[in-house]
Amino acid sequence: MGDGIRVESDGLTAFSGQVHDDTARTIEPGYSDARVYLDSGVRFGRNNAGGGVQAAKQRYAESLRASSANIVEYMYAARVLADAATSVAAMFDRTDLTAEQRVDYVNGALAAAAVEVQQQFDAAAHAEAMDGHPSTRRGGPAR
């Protein structure tokens, strides 16, 4: 294994740790805090019969749904990238692949990390359903 490969694996490992830390420090607590207020839904125009206000309420509800869903996806995507980087770094340390094989492995590692994150989410959701309220938890998957 050449020095270049070693540098790649170290860099990937550092990247993984940095992304995990940044995600846990920035977007996840930010989204969790924002949800305290955003979960209350549409808070204007309840008794307003105007069509313009009604349209605004519908659009706001749609914005809330789409934006929050995407934020969750971003958090998970960041976790997937971090996990994939860890996996790729481990592979680089163990094997000596061709360039094409390494590309395949990277893509496969990303997909595998995505599956793993989804499984982590399912486990976290199950745990929340058993013993906790989701609003008191952080937005990231159980690790």
Partner 1 sequence: MVMDEDDTLARAQVGAWRQLAGSVRSERDALVAARTDLVAVWPPEENASAAAFVAQLDNLITQLETASADAETTASGLDGIVTALAGAKTQIRPLWEQYKDKSSDLVPNWFDRAENEIDEQARQFMINAERAVQDAATLLKVPPPFEFTIEDVREWPPAKGSARLGPAGIDVPVPHEPVPPLPGAEATVPDGSTGAAVGGAAAGAAVGLGAGGFSVGGAEAGAGAGPGVGVGPGGGVGDRAETVGGAGAGSGAGGSAGSGGDAGAGVGPGLGGAGASAGLGGGAGAGAGIAGVSTAPAGGPDLAGVITPPAPSGAGGVSPLAPSGAGVISPSGPSGAGVLPAGGGAPLPGAAGTLPSGGAAAVGGTPPPAGPATVVPGSGGLPIVGGSLGRPPASIPPASIPPASGAGRAAGRTPLPSGAVIGERTAAAGGRPIGGAAPGTGFAGSRGAAPGAVRADGRVPRPSWLPNDPVGPERHQVMSGGMAQAHSASRRPVKTDEPAGYEAGESWRVAEGVAPVIAPGENGDTHDPGPTLIGRRG
Site string for partner 1, 56-95 (x = CB under 8 A): xxxxxxxxxxxxxxxxxxxxxxx-xx--xx-xx-------
| Count of positions on this chain that bind partner 1 (CB under 8 A) | 89
111 touches 77 (CB < 8 A): no
137 binds partner 1 (CB under 8 A): no
142 binds partner 1 (CB under 8 A): no
46 binds partner 1 (CB under 8 A): yes
Residues of span 107-136 touching partner 1 by CB under 8 A = 107-112, 114-115, 117-118, 121, 125
- What is the distance between the alpha carbons of residues 57 and 42, in angstroms, rounded to a whole number? 6
Taking every pair of C-alpha atoms in the chain, what is the biggest distance, in angstroms?
A: 71
Burial class (CB in 10 A: 0-12, 13-18, 19+), 16: buried
**Min dist. Cβ of residue 12 to partner 1 (A):** 7
Please report the DSSP string for 27-67 in residue order: HHHHHHHHHHHHTT---S-TT---HHHHHHHHHHHHHHHHH
102 binds partner 1 (CB under 8 A): yes
11 binds partner 1 (CB under 8 A): yes
40 binds partner 1 (CB under 8 A): yes
Please name which of 15, 55, 1, 16 lies closest in space to residue 143, comparing C-alpha atoms. 16
**Min dist. Cβ of residue 3 to partner 1 (A):** 11
41 binds partner 1 (CB under 8 A): yes
